[in-house]
Amino acid sequence: MDAYNITVVGGAGIVGREFLKLLETRKTPVKRLRLLATARSAGKVVEFRGEKITVEETSEASFSPADDVVFLSASGSASKQYAPIAQRNGSFVIDDSSAYRMDPAVPLVIPEVNADDLSWHQGIVSQPNCTTTPMVLALAPIHRVNPLRRIVVSTYQAVAGAGSAAVDGLRTETEAALAGRHEPSGTQKREIAFNAVPQIDVFDEGGYTKEEIKMANETRKILHAPDIAISATCVRIPTFFGHAMNVWAEFERPVTPAEARELIAAARGVRLIDDPAKESYPTPMDVAGTDDVLVGRLRGDSSLPGGITLWTVTDSIRKGAATNVVQVIEEAAGRGLIRR
C-alpha cells in the first residue's frame, strides 16, 4: 500500500483518536498527517509515530489537492460544508456522519460485505451507523445464499457512541448516584446512570427515532435489498463501550441454527462465541478494544418457524467507526481507487 497524505477532521475526538491508534497498530503507511478540529480543540498537541502534531482549526482553506485522503469525523453539517471542497480537490473522502449515507451517488461501505461498491465512488465514501455495521456483518453471510425478508432488532448502545462527553457524563452521573444524588449530565435524553433510555436521536412522525430509521435504510442500501422489512428499537444503556443488540431475522427460505452458525463462522470480521452448555456468550466487556463482531445466543425463532434470533456485540468506536475507515482506505488503495 502506498503512503498517503491523510487529513482528519475531528482529529481530537474519540473516533479520531482511535483512528490514529489504528494507523499505528496496523502499520498503515502515512506520508503526512494533519489533524483538524473545532476552535475549542485547536492548539492541542497529539503525538503520532514520534512526531508532535498540533491540531488546527478547520476552515474551508484547510483543504488542498495535497490531501490524498480526508476522513471526516464531525457533524453532518460540517461534512456537508467540507466534503465537497475535498472532493473537488481530488481527495478520497470518507465521511463518518449521516450526511451522505443515503445519497444514491455515494457508496455506503462495509469492506467485508460490499467492497465492490467502492468502484463507483465519485470522491466521497460514506460509512454506516455504528449499529448498522454489526447487524449487517452478522446477517450478510446468510443473506448471500438465502435473502433476508424481515428483521426486528433491539439495540443496547453504549454511551461512547455519543462521544467522549457522554463517557464523562456516565462516569460523573454514576459517582453521584452511588452517593445518593441525581445529577443528570445532559449528555443523554435522560439521566443514564443505572437507567435505560429508549431514545437515541429525535422522533419522526411515525414514532421511530432517526437512529432506528438509519438502521433500516442503511441495511437495505448496503445489501442492495430495498424490500427488506425492518423494525428497530434503539436504547442507550449505562455501559461505556460496546454496542449490543438482539436480532430476529426471517429469510426467503427456512434456515436452521446449524446452517446459520456454519455460514457466520466462515465470514470475515465475525466471531461466534456461542456455547449455551457452558453459558458462553459475548458481552460488551468482551468486545471493548477489539475489531470483530461477536455473535452468540444463536437459536431458532420460537415465534416463527424457519427464522433465527441472535445476540451480537461490537466496539462502536472501533469496527463501528474507526476500524471500518482504515479498512476502507486499505481496500480502496488495494483496488487503485485513491487518486485514480
Cβ proximity of 70 and 4 under 8 Å:
no
Cβ proximity of 223 and 140 under 8 Å:
yes
The cell 421511530 sits on which residue?
208
The residue annotated as part of the active site, out of 121, 143, 234, 243, is 243
Residue 234 falls in the annotated catalytic set: no
Strands (E), 84-131: 92-95, 124-126
Residue 224 falls in the annotated catalytic set: no
Give DSSP secondary structure letters for 33-66: EEEEE-TTTTT-EEEETTEEEE-EE--GGG--TT
Q: Which helix (H) or strand (E) is 171 found in, with range? A: helix 164-178
Using alpha carbons, list the distances in angstroms from residue 96 to 7, 182, 217.
Answer: 14, 34, 16
Q: What's the CA gap between 204 and 209, in Å, rounded?
A: 6
Using alpha carbons, list the distances in angstroms from residue 8 to 13, 60, 71, 194.
Answer: 10, 14, 5, 35
The residue annotated as part of the active site, out of 121, 130, 143, 234, is 130
The gap from C-alpha 213 to its chain's centroid, in whole angstroms, comes to 15
The residues carrying an active-site annotation are 130, 243
